[in-house]
A and B are shown apart, each in its own frame.
Chain A
Amino acid sequence: MKIAAFLPKLGDKLHKTAYEAITAAHQVQALVGGDVVGFAIDVDQQQLERTAHYGLTRLIVAEHPLLANTYSPSAFAKVLHQLASSQGIDILILPNITYGKELGPRVAVTFEAGYIADVTGIESQNGELIFRKPVYAGKAIIAAQLKTAKKIFTIRPNIFTAKAAEAVASLNIETFTPELSEADFKEKRLSITRSTGKLDVAEADIVVSGGRGLKAPENFKLIEELAEVLGAAVGASRAVVDAGWRPHSEQVGQTGKTISPNLYIAVGISGAVQHLAGMSSSKVIVAINKDKDAPIFQVADYGIVGDALDVLPRLTAKLKEVLHKS
Chain B
Amino acid sequence: MNILVCVSRVPDTATKVKVADDGKSIATQNVKFILNPYDEFAVEEGLRLREQHGGSVTVLTVGGQESTDILRTALAMGADKATLIQLANPDSYQVAVNIAQYARNHSFDLILFGRQSIDFDSFQVPPMVAQLLDLPCLTIVSQWSITNGTVKAERDIEGGKEEFETTLPLVASVQKGINEPRYPKLPDIIKAKSKPIETIEPVAVEPQLEILSMEIPQTERRHVILGDSDEDLEKLIQLLREEAKVI
Chain A residues in contact with chain B, CB under 8 A?
Answer: 10-11, 15, 71, 73-74, 77, 97-99, 101-106, 108-110, 114-118, 130, 133-148, 186-195, 199-200, 202-203, 206, 230, 248-249, 251, 253-256, 258, 262-263, 272-274, 277, 280-281, 283-286, 292, 297-307, 310-311, 314-315, 318-319, 322-323
Contacts and interface: CB of A to CB of B under 8 A. Distances in A.
B223 to A, nearest CB: 7
Contacts of B164: 187-190
B228 A144 contact: no
A200 B247 CA distance: 18
Given A130-B212, A190-B152, A303-B226, A283 B246 contact: yes
Nearest to A292: B225
Nearest to B140: A98
A322 B131 contact: no
B64 interface: no
Interface of B: 11, 13-17, 19, 24, 26, 37-38, 92-93, 96, 118-128, 130-132, 135-140, 152, 155-166, 175-177, 206-217, 219, 221-228, 230, 232-234, 236-237, 239-241, 244, 246-247
A10 B124 contact: no
B247 A206 contact: yes
The 5 A-B pairs at the shortest CB distance, nearest first, are namely A306-B228, A186-B136, A114-B208, A274-B13, A139-B17
24 contacts: A73-B130, A102-B126, A114-B208, A137-B118, A140-B214, A145-B209, A146-B210, A147-B206, A147-B207, A200-B158, A203-B158, A230-B247, A253-B13, A255-B176, A256-B176, A272-B14, A273-B13, A277-B13, A285-B221, A299-B219, A301-B224, A302-B240, A302-B244, A304-B226
B128 A108 contact: yes
Contacts of B232: 304, 306
Nearest to B123: A101
A97 B124 contact: no
B221 A255 contact: no
Contacts of B227: 304-306
A190 B165 contact: yes
B95 to A, nearest CB: 11
B177 A248 contact: yes
A262 B226 CA distance: 21
Contacts of B92: 115
Contacts of A143: 211-214
B27 to A, nearest CB: 11
Given A299-B221, A300-B221, A301-B222, A117 B122 contact: yes
A154 to B, nearest CB: 9
Given A188-B165, A263-B240, A302-B240, A202 B15 contact: no
Contacts of A146: 208-210
Contact of A192 (B162, B225, B230): B162
A202 B158 contact: yes
A272 B120 CA distance: 20
A302 B118 contact: no
B217 A15 contact: no
A307 B227 CA distance: 10
Contact of B17 (A98, A136, A148, A262): A136
